[in-house]
């Protein structure tokens, strides 16, 4: 019995180390792209709910894009703060504000609900989806358009403002996703995304994602299912930065992400669940051999940090060895949240609304 348990622990540890080694040696997928001109109209949809602290910075980053042929549609979702007042100051800057007066049904994705309302107001060939608490790099739209022709959905790189651990964690995770893609991408990044209008309409519009708490993953999954390729642009020019979250908010965030994980390919799901078990495996391994536990801890952490270096350098992100060590400690204790929320989580709060996991 003891040997069987040890075999399981060692087997999962080998899976984790092998997955990181695979990413370490795998080259970046670089699709051939056709550079579009600034004549292509881009519709940018922003969903906002009580974002008075961030909405101005978001809109400023959008109206100051180097790509100039765009329109901005902001869905003001029953904001009770000064979000509406702030948005009113931008109405002469290609910003069309829609004050939503309807509500999503119980347990319906509010963002997909808003995107569905905003779709008729979009006149562009492509629809870029931005979050109200994010800021976007000046070349965001120009770079996304450059990569868009072969794909029905493309995502950009997302980071975090004013929190290095969360920022590096996001970049490291997104870098790993982009390494896994070939002709298409297994998932999408909801706060940094662009879809081809005719392709989103072909799969049923944004309404197809209203029954999922991870609308980005659902849309990406349905596009792949319908033979429409998707892509994650691994280039710092498409960087968006969101605001940091508290530990409590992180738990709700990871609960919401669980539904999206269900749509990922089986090998990726396997690795994610193994990663969530890692801390518990390490503790179990200590019970059998402290030396063996230290060997696997050092081996796995070293390989992971080497992949981190590969990814962060690719994104032109500056970092220190101390920051990498802090990131590894941060992941060691936060990754188990994924498993715990899967086993014990049923409800979560998102944008001040209560939801129940399916």
88-146 pLDDT, tens digit per residue, is 999 877 899 999 988 877 778 889 999 999 999 999 999 999 999 999 999 999 989 88
C-beta of residue 145 within 8 angstroms of C-beta of residue 235: no
| pLDDT confidence of residue 354 | 66
| Closest of 331, 328, 322, 284 to residue 305, by C-alpha | 328
Give the full edge-to-edge strand order of the sheet including 42-48: 95-100, 70-77, 42-48, 126-131, 192-196, 153-155, 230-232
Q: Give phi and psi for 281, each to the nearest 5.
A: -65, -40
Q: Say which residue the tokens 């908010």 belong to.
A: 249
How many CA atoms are closer than 13 Å to the CA of 157, on its beta-carbon side? Answer: 27
Cα gap 65→139, rounded to integer Å = 6
Cα gap 213→216, rounded to integer Å = 9
| pLDDT confidence of residue 109 | 87
DSSP letter at 33 equals -
Residue ranges of the chain with pLDDT lower than 70? 1-3, 32-38, 338-339, 341-358
**Cβ neighbours of residue 225 closer than 8 Å, sequence gap 6 or more:** none
| Helices assigned H by DSSP within 66-163 | 83-88, 110-118, 140-147
| pLDDT confidence of residue 168 | 95
Is the pTM higher than 0.85? yes
| pLDDT confidence of residue 32 | 66
One CATH from 3.40.50.300, 3.30.390.10, 3.20.20.60, 3.90.550.10 for 42-248: 3.90.550.10
Q: How far is CA 229 from CA 81, 196, 200, in A?
A: 40, 11, 12
Q: For the chain, give the longest Cα–Cα distance.
A: 71
| pLDDT confidence of residue 284 | 81
Asked whether the CA dihedral 193, 199, 202, 205 is positive or negative, the reply is positive
Cα gap 189→242, rounded to integer Å = 12
Neighbour tally for 263: CB within 10 Å: 18
Q: Give the tokens for residue 310.
A: 């590969």
Neighbour tally for 157: CB within 10 Å: 26
| pLDDT confidence of residue 338 | 67
């Amino acid at each position: 019995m003891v040997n069987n348990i040890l075999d399981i622990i060692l087997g999962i540890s080998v899976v984790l180390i092998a997955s990181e080694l695979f990413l370490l040696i795998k080259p970046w997928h670089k699709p051939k792209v056709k550079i579009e001109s600034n004549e292509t109209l881009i519709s940018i949809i922003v969903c906002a709910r009580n974002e008075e602290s961030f909405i101005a910075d978001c809109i400023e980053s959008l109206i100051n894009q180097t790509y100039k042929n765009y329109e901005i549609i902001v869905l003001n979702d029953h904001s009770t703060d000064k979000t509406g007042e702030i948005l009113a100051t931008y109405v002469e800057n290609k910003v069309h504000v829609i004050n939503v007066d309807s509500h999503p049904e119980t347990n319906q994705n509010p963002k997909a609900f808003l995107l569905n309302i905003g779709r008729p107001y979009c006149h562009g060939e492509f629809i870029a989806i931005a979050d109200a608490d994010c800021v976007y790099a000046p070349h965001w739209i120009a770079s996304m358009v450059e990569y868009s022709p072969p794909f029905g959905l493309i995502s950009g790189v997302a980071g975090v403002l004013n929190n290095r651990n969360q920022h590096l964690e996001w970049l490291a995770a997104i870098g790993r996703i982009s390494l896994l893609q070939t002709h298409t991408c297994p998932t999408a990044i909801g706060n940094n995304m662009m879809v081809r209008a005719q392709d989103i309409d072909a799969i049923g519009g944004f309404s197809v994602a209203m029954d999922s708490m991870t609308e980005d993953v659902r849309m990406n999954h349905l596009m792949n299912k319908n033979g429409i390729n998707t892509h994650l642009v691994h280039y710092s020019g498409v960087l968006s930065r969101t605001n940091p979250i508290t530990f409590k908010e992180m738990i709700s965030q990871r609960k919401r992400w669980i539904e999206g994980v269900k749509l990922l390919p089986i090998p990726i799901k396997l690795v994610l669940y193994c990663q969530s078990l890692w801390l518990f495996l390490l503790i179990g391994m200590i019970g059998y051999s402290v030396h063996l536990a230290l060997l696997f801890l050092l081996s796995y952490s070293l390989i992971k940090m080497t992949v981190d270096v590969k990814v962060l350098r690719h994104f032109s992100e500056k970092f220190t060895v101390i920051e990498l060590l802090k990131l590894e400690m941060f992941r060691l204790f936060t990754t188990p949240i994924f498993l715990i929320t899967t086993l014990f989580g049923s409800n979560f709060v998102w944008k001040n609304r209560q939801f129940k996991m399916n």
